[in-house]
Amino acid sequence: NVALVGALLYTQTGEVGASVAASRAHVAPRMVAPKFSMSGLRPAQREARVSAHGKGIVSTIALDAPVATSEDSMTWIPAKGNEVDAGMGQVHIDAAISNEISPVMAQKNIQRPVIFGVAADSGCGKSTFLRRVNAIFGTTTSKAHTPTGDLITTICLDDFHTLDRTGRGQTGISALDVRANNFALMADQLKALKQGRAIKKPIYNHDTGAIDPVETIHPNHIIIVEGLHPMLDKDVIESLDFTFYIDVSDPVKKAWKIERDMVERGHKKEDIIASIESRKPDFEKFVEPQKANADVIISIEPTKLDVAPGEETKYLNTRLIQKENQHGIRPVYMFEEEGSTVDWDPCAGPGAMACPYPGTRVRYYNEMSGEKHANVIEVDGVFGETEELFFIEERLSNTNTKYFGELTKQMLKNKAAPGSGDGSGLVQALVALKMRESYERFTGRTIQIPKWGLFLDDY
């Protein structure tokens, strides 16, 4: 067993290192080795699984303003869109942008903020996905309204609502409607963060439904903007480096929401269904079109496996749709040849995974996603023991793991999280690895993480 705990520290070489805290040592779980190894692979194939491909697309920002010596010395100007009035007055009148470059840029040695956009309807697993992203980067964030850590800041775009809960009820305008969102302010403040400036951003209070006073947000190495509309407005899209859309099909979304709201909130089934149906027109008009602007789509659908009638949404078929992109980020694919077609049962044959009902199916193929060519990894059904995901991981290429076994280890670290027993969690982890790869490519820096052994018996 290895006793390690990772804490991210920026070194003078521009790499992110992992430190060992002996006083808070964590013992890695013992994992049982599967009945296979990588010994039969050619050296080039092994290397493809333990190192990133290609060179990074490195860029920096031009500091076009003086750098503030401290937060107290900063001066502010009104942000574009702060005077927008959707019928409740100028609720964003205090939104602002700093005249100076934030002192945090120098304090954290930020080369340039990398901004990711994550779009999805409410209740579609954004929070679970973002927890996996933090784990892949080896970092944590605060529990503040806008979670912030040494590496990552996550901004919820609900903060740019122009109507509070009461106002939406009175006007009949939903939160999905563009009229209830301040895109001019959203675009201006994301542009400012990308330039290294600080912002005074509004807050939408999910507990009270009110629009609260502004908060100060500084740039960070990585900024994740998540919500209903990160890829709808062209001016907002200009600030995004890499974009993701979580696409949960109607039958699965309905099953999830009914289960959550009946158990956790005591709502009646018929009221939940009515709420879902009332949102559907605005979702199809304002949220779903963003799939066309996403670089990567996580698609969650009912299983295609042979299950009993009515069980289709109990078991999930998750697809990782990786579109051609201009960022140099290559797709994950299966076995050795990108572009081939694979339909594989990991539960069949000698030494196979032990899969409970209804089993597991892994597919890889190409398709057109809108006007772009896409590589698709599809994982259908459920897993048995999470440790056995090494059986699948060994057959995936270009995952950008730091060492063979990291993907399975990440799944084990979040074993209690929703989706860890099926393809939805596995695909989320693969996407988080691609986010890490893109950060490294855009900045030329390397995320260093604890290496807990190349093979299972090293744990």
At 75-104, the pLDDT tens digits run 999 999 999 999 889 999 999 999 999 999
- The pLDDT confidence band at residue 123, using thresholds 50, 70 and 90, is confident
Give the integer Cα–Cα distance in Å for 182 and 94. 14
4 — pLDDT class (breaks 50, 70, 90):
very low
Q: Tell me, rounded to whole angstroms, the distance of Cα 221 from its chain centroid.
A: 15
**How many of the other CB atoms lie within 10 Å of CB of 111?**
17
**Cβ atoms of 389 and 322 closer than 8 Å:** no
Q: According to the 3-state scheme, what is the secondary structure of 12-65?
A: CCCCEEECCCHHHCCECCCCCCCCCCCCCCCHHHHHHHHCCCCCCCCCCCCCCC
Model pLDDT, residue 59 = 66
Q: What is the pLDDT of residues 356-409, one digit of tens each?
A: 999 999 999 999 999 899 999 999 999 988 989 999 999 999 999 999 899 999
Rounded average pLDDT over 263-277: 84
Query: If pLDDT is split at 50, 70 and 90, which confidence band does 45 have?
Result: very low
> Is 90 exceeded by the pLDDT of residue 122?
no
The tokens of 15 are what?
Answer: 């790499």
Q: How far apart are CA 367 and CA 349, in angstroms?
A: 29
pLDDT confidence of residue 61: 67
Which sign does the torsion angle of CA 5, 439, 79, 105 carry? positive
φ, ψ of residue 137 in degrees (nearest 5): -80, -10
Q: Which of 99-103, 192-196, 230-234, 417-421 has the lowest mean pLDDT?
A: 417-421
Give which of 167, 437, 392 is closest to 296, Cα–Cα: 437
**Percent of the chain surpassing pLDDT 70:** 84
CA dihedral 60, 65, 69, 73 (to 10 degrees): -140
The span from the first CA to the last CA of the chain, in angstroms, equals: 5
**Where does the pLDDT of residue 336 fall: very low under 50, low under 70, confident under 90, or very high at 90 and above?**
low
Query: Which of 128-142, 190-204, 245-259, 398-412 ranks highest by mean pLDDT?
Result: 190-204
